[in-house]
Amino acid sequence: MNKVKVGVVGYGTIGQRLADGVVRMGDMELVGVANRTPNLGVRALKEKGMPYDLYMSDPKYADAYAEAGIPVCGTMEDLAEKCDILLDATPAGVGAENKKLFERMGKPCIFQGGEKNDVADVFFHGYANYEKGLDKQFLKLTSCNTTGLIRAVDCLDRNCGGIERVAITIIRRVADPGDYHRGLTNALKIDKAPSHQAVDLMTIMPHVEATGILVHTPVTHGHIITITAQGKQKITKEQALEAFKTHDRIRVVRIADGFLGNASMFKYARDLGNPRGDMYEIGLWEESIVEYGDQIMFAIYIPQEAVTIPETLDGVRAALHMQDTMEEATAKTNEYLGMAKWK
């Protein structure tokens, strides 16, 4: 079987995880990764024996790479030339600049949630609108919060008779572990409503009316989202729970078993031996599911560093038309990533 050749541009929090995810795909081959500077991720790559070929995004940092003793295989253009598709995980705004090169070379690319929507042909989610991404040159992923939110809402929409509207509250971690750019803080900060995640959900699922509030919190391990959903017909707790349990990217957990919050989730992922303590699935607390009149309410956990990886790999399958349908594509991604192994 000829494997799809994939390159990752940007070797930071998401890029490192994308590279590892591509390696796990039995029908894909990681050609290499590109990065602008010899950051800590690149330095760790060297210390691990350079398991991935490394390319420079910006040749002006060649001296910095040489000084650090880190071998490179060429430029980002050299990497793109060898690939069937690129996954751009650079900081917001950089991807739009990189797109100019990919357009000139005729290479498809998938951008992460930090880029503006107009960078791509389709604003993409692996479950909610996979077929819209088929054969498109440029796709853009939803953010980590929106990715997990849509997983849960789409699950109910497909399995419980349809969703008409949702209201969400996002309790948002302020920065990733290891980041300092948000400073040291002892405060909560609220954003103007509606949050972009609610707007993004309506862009992907235009038949659902959504609104939401977002609160920044001084923690680093994950977000929690509360969701109140109005179905086209009443959704019972039993129906919702059954639907969530069938979804391979939703892990239903119980407070009674010790899953008290975000720290419990992160610790459990580490106890499982997951690299970096990552979780690809979102967590959903069984005890949080409640009926409120004709609405259903529940809470989910978003592991922000890894949650978008499966949907990005779905994007590769759509852009290169590796599978025709969402069901086929997500099943293949889930199989290679070992999703739902806890069931």
Q: Is the pLDDT of residue 33 over 90?
A: yes
Helix then strand then coil, in percent of the chain rounded to 5, is 40, 25, 35
Domain limits of the chain? 4-142+308-337, 144-302
pLDDT tens digits for range 137-183: 999 999 999 999 999 999 999 999 999 999 999 998 887 777 777 77
Give the pLDDT confidence score for residue 180 in this predicted structure: 72
3-class SS of residue 13: helix
CA distance 305 to 126: 17
Give the pLDDT confidence score for residue 178 in this predicted structure: 74
Q: What percent of the chain has pLDDT over 90?
A: 92
Question: CATH says 144-302 is which class?
Answer: alpha beta
pLDDT tens digits for range 308-329: 999 999 999 999 999 999 999 9
Give the pLDDT confidence score for residue 341 in this predicted structure: 87
Q: What is the pTM of this model?
A: 0.94
pLDDT tens digits for range 223-275: 999 999 999 999 999 999 999 999 999 999 999 999 999 999 999 999 999 99
pLDDT tens digits for range 88-106: 999 999 999 999 999 999 9
Residue count of the chain: 343
Question: CATH says 4-142+308-337 is which class?
Answer: alpha beta
Q: Is the pLDDT of residue 291 over 80?
A: yes
Q: Write out the two tokens for 296.
A: 């259903």
Mean pLDDT of the chain: 95
Place of tokens 């008409």: 164
Q: Is the pLDDT of residue 306 over 80?
A: yes
Nearest one of 116, 88, 89 to 102, comparing CA atoms:
88
Q: Write out the two tokens for 87.
A: 């996954």
**DSSP-assigned states of every residue in 225-253:** EEEEEEESS---HHHHHHHHHH-TTEEEE
* Range from 27-41, 70-84, 211-225, 283-297 carrying the lowest mean pLDDT: 211-225
Q: Write out the two tokens for 235.
A: 């959704």
3-class SS of residue 30: strand
Q: Is the pLDDT of residue 62 over 80?
A: yes
Which sequence positions are flagged as catalytic? Answer: 144
3-class SS of residue 92: coil
